């Protein structure tokens, strides 16, 4: 089995490289806050639709008995769980640990790798590997969230008419396809559309909750933590299993962190504190009050908060809101995949930046369509939101536990947090989150195996790609050698080569090494062009680069050998048009001769991968690495090279 991949797709961004994301400053803009409502909080904001009825679901293998004490205990447990995990940990603390504006588990991995040195290196690398598994779990969450969110909303049609059951699955599938088709328009456009709708949604949550509370104000006593404590320790057998469903109330926590690069920390934090958290908690309180009035209200407690005349409008709003809910994890998945690619855990994917103002707003086509297919498979396989609920919690809490562990390491290594503070506050967080994880593990045979399987598969792909790249990069570096030394030998007439007219442009990722295509052309064809340009392309953390700053030309120590190195810089919103950029090189920079770009030949180095006999990794992993290399982006198309004048020179490397 062999594969051909562009040489530059196998270069890993160096750990500790200069930050690529501009710092966000200036006044907080309303547009970002509204956009955050529409993109970041859809998931956690729609959990009231299904969370309580799942907790009290009589079909659960470990049902929670419906009585007054348990209703107070559950509502109190929800309030304090969300407060501690989302408000205190994620919004108050974790979001301060960013990789130059980017958040999420991959940002923590980057920070850990930067501080991995000395005696703590082994522990840091172990945590980084654990973090990769957490990122893989999050990708599983990105598949499950759209399925359960849209299904739960469309299922509300049963409260209107029981004869419409047959349309639930087809309608869900159509909505999901439309959602993923919208992604290419960009997060800022989606946020502009979805933000105002989610503003209406959170207002509706609050009003419905207030209406329910008005019917039984005593439910407000559940704000006291004593009810949660009494429920957990007074009835531990029931409470322990209930934790697995309580997880559903904070399912969007990791997406909130991962989406930080899309909007920034302040808009996300202010939207949570001022709008989302109060609205969601009021609704849970209202549902609790409704259940206290009549235990028969458990099934569909969310929809029953609304007067019967408003059920259909609420159903429509709920369906739209749950479509938006899927957006949080989709955009989060784009961020995770992009960061994983930069760190060398995934191939270099085609990434489209969709905003001139926020570097982190991106669209990754390959991830988008993979998620869409996966979500549709889950919908048709599980068919109900209740069947997916058990699988849902495991992906969420598994990622959260890992984020807590990684964050505590970063807090110590980066900020020098006192050990006593980490032992007390960190110990409490670990105890709480591992209790949820233990409870969720009891649901493995009931569906929680799914995110673990997805996470394990994604984790295997990522660590295999990282290992394979290390093997290929090491071998390629040995073959390339130093560019300066190569040019010196060329100047001295080694290897012997005939000089042919014209300009040759060899793309490479830096000026430290000689492109394989350049070496191969000289050693195999015994020919060199009259003018040779070794070109590196850099993406800058600004929307557009001024023409005056576009090019940097290095004559590599001699102004008469007709070999130059050019660094071309592009902003993240620009399509790197290499031929057009090279037109700005004047003759003085090109050693006194104008480049003949109208007839220039462009050379790309490619690597033919095939399994070798070396024991670099297991045979099945070698085949997996080679298969994964097929998804790398096409370099010629990306750099707008003329197809009729682009030559691809390959080298064989065994892995």
Average of per-residue pLDDT across 624-649: 82
Of the candidates 447, 462, 494, which is a domain's last residue?
A: 447
The answer to whether residue 6 is domain-embedded is no
Domain that holds residue 319: 46-447
Average of per-residue pLDDT across 551-560: 79
Confidence band for 8, pLDDT divided at 50, 70 and 90: very low
How much is the mean pLDDT over the chain? 82
Average of per-residue pLDDT across 488-504: 80
Residues 437 and 488 in one domain: no
Confidence band for 192, pLDDT divided at 50, 70 and 90: low
Better-scored residue on pLDDT, 343 or 51: 51
The answer to whether residue 27 is domain-embedded is no
Place of tokens 């993406």: 539
Residues 502 and 595 in one domain: yes
Please write the tens of the pLDDT for every residue from 254-267.
Answer: 778 877 876 778 88
Please write the tens of the pLDDT for every residue from 43-100.
Answer: 788 889 888 888 887 777 778 888 999 999 999 999 999 999 999 999 999 998 887 7
Contact predicate 246/440, CB 8 Å: no
Q: Would you state the pLDDT for residue 18?
A: 37
Confidence band for 572, pLDDT divided at 50, 70 and 90: low
Residues 500 and 413 in one domain: no
Q: Which residues contact 576 (CB under 8 A, 6 or more apart)?
A: 537, 539, 568, 570, 638, 639, 640
Residues pairing with 647 in the sheet: 603
Residues 409 and 539 in one domain: no
Of the candidates 393, 426, 447, which is a domain's last residue?
A: 447
Structure tokens at 241: 């299993």
Residues 182 and 329 in one domain: yes
Residues 173 and 264 in one domain: yes
Taking 50 as the threshold, does the pLDDT of residue 13 lie above it? no
Of the candidates 432, 447, 462, which is a domain's last residue?
A: 447
The answer to whether residue 557 is domain-embedded is yes
Average of per-residue pLDDT across 346-362: 68
Residues 270 and 168 in one domain: yes
The answer to whether residue 331 is domain-embedded is yes
**CA separation for the pair 453, 74 (Å, rounded):** 30
Confidence band for 102, pLDDT divided at 50, 70 and 90: confident
- The number of beta carbons lying within 10 Å of the beta carbon of residue 637 is 11
Residues 236 and 353 in one domain: yes
Residues 441 and 588 in one domain: no
The domain that holds 348 is classified in CATH as 1.20.1740.10
Residues 403 and 544 in one domain: no
The tally of domains found in the chain comes to: 2
For the packed helices 385-415 and 449-480, what is the interaxial angle rounded to 10 degrees? Answer: 50
The answer to whether residue 486 is domain-embedded is yes
The answer to whether residue 12 is domain-embedded is no
The answer to whether residue 622 is domain-embedded is yes
The answer to whether residue 462 is domain-embedded is no
Taking 50 as the threshold, does the pLDDT of residue 22 lie above it? no
Residues 271 and 132 in one domain: yes
Residues 507 and 395 in one domain: no
Q: Would you state the pLDDT for residue 14?
A: 33
Pairing type for strands 601-610 and 646-654 reads parallel
Q: How many helices (H) and strands (E) does the chain have?
A: 26, 9
Please write the tens of the pLDDT for every residue from 122-167.
Answer: 777 788 888 888 888 888 878 888 888 788 778 777 766 666 778 8
């Amino acid at each position: 089995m062999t594969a051909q991949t562009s040489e530059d797709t196998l270069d890993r961004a160096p750990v500790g490289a200069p930050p690529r994301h501009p710092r966000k400053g200036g006044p907080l803009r309303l547009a970002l806050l509204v956009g955050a409502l529409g993109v970041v909080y859809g998931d956690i904001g729609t959990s009231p639709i299904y969370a309580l009825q799942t907790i009290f679901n009589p079909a659960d293998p470990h049902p929670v008995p419906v009585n007054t004490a348990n209703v107070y205990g559950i509502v109190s447990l929800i309030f304090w769980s969300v407060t501690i995990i989302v408000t205190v940990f994620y919004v108050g603390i974790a979001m301060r640990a960013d990789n130059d504006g980017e958040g999420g588990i991959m940002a923590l991995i980057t920070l850990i790798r930067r501080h991995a040195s000395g005696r703590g290196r082994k522990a840091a690398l172990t945590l980084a590997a654990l973090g990769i598994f957490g990122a893989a779990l999050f990708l599983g969450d990105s598949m499950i969230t759209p399925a359960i969110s849209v299904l739960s909303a469309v299922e509300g049609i049963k409260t209107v008419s029981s004869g419409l059951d047959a349309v639930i699955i087809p309608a869900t599938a159509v909505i999901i396809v439309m959602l993923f088709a919208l992604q290419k328009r960009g997060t800022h456009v989606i946020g502009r559309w979805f933000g105002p709708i989610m503003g209406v949604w959170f207002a509706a949550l609050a009003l419905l909750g207030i209406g329910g509370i008005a019917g039984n104000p005593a439910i407000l006593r559940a704000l006291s933590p004593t009810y949660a404590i009494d429920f957990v320790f007074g009835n531990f057998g029931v409470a322990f299993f209930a934790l697995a469903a309580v997880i559903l109330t904070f399912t969007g926590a990791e997406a909130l962190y991962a989406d930080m690069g899309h909007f920034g920390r302040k808009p996300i934090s202010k939207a949570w504190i001022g709008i989302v958290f109060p609205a969601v908690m009021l609704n849970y309180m209202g549902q609790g009050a409704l259940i206290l009035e009549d235990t028969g209200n458990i099934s569909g407690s969310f929809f029953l908060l609304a007067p019967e005349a408003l059920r259909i409008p609420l159903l429509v709003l709920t369906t739209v809101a749950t479509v938006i809910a899927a957006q949080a994890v989709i955009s989060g998945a784009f961020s995770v995949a992009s960061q994983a690619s930069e760190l060398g855990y995934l191939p270099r994917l085609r990434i489209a930046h969709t905003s001139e103002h926020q570097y982190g707003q991106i669209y990754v086509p390959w991830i988008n369509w993979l998620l869409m297919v996966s979500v549709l498979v889950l919908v048709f396989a599980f068919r109900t939101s209740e069947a997916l609920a058990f699988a849902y919690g495991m992906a969420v809490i598994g990622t959260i536990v890992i984020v807590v562990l990684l964050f505590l390491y970063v807090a110590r290594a980066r900020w020098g947090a006192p050990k006593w503070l980490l032992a007390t506050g960190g110990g409490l967080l670990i105890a709480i989150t591992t209790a949820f994880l233990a409870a969720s593990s009891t649901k493995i045979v009931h569906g929680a195996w799914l995110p673990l399987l997805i996470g394990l598969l994604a984790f295997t792909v990522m660590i295999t790609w990282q290992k394979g790249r290390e093997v290929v990069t090491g071998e390629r570096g040995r073959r390339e050698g130093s560019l300066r030394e190569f040019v010196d030998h060329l100047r001295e007439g080694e290897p012997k080569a005939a000089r042919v007219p014209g300009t040759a442009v060899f793309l490479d990722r830096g000026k430290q090494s000689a492109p394989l295509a350049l070496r191969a052309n000289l050693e195999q064809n015994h020919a060199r062009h009259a003018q040779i340009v070794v070109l590196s392309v850099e993406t800058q953390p600004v929307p557009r680069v001024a023409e005056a700053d576009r090019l940097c030309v290095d004559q590599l120590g001699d102004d008469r050998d007709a070999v130059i190195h050019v660094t071309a810089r592009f902003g993240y919103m620009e399509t790197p048009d290499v031929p057009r950029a090279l037109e700005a090189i004047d003759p003085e920079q090109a050693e006194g001769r104008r480049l003949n770009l109208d007839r220039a030949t462009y050379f790309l180095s490619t690597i033919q991968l095939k399994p070798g006999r070396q024991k670099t990794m297991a045979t099945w992993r070698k085949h997996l690495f080679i298969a994964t290399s097929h998804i790398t982006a096409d370099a010629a198309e990306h750099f707008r090279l003329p197809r009729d004048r682009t030559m691809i020179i390959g080298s064989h490397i065994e892995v």
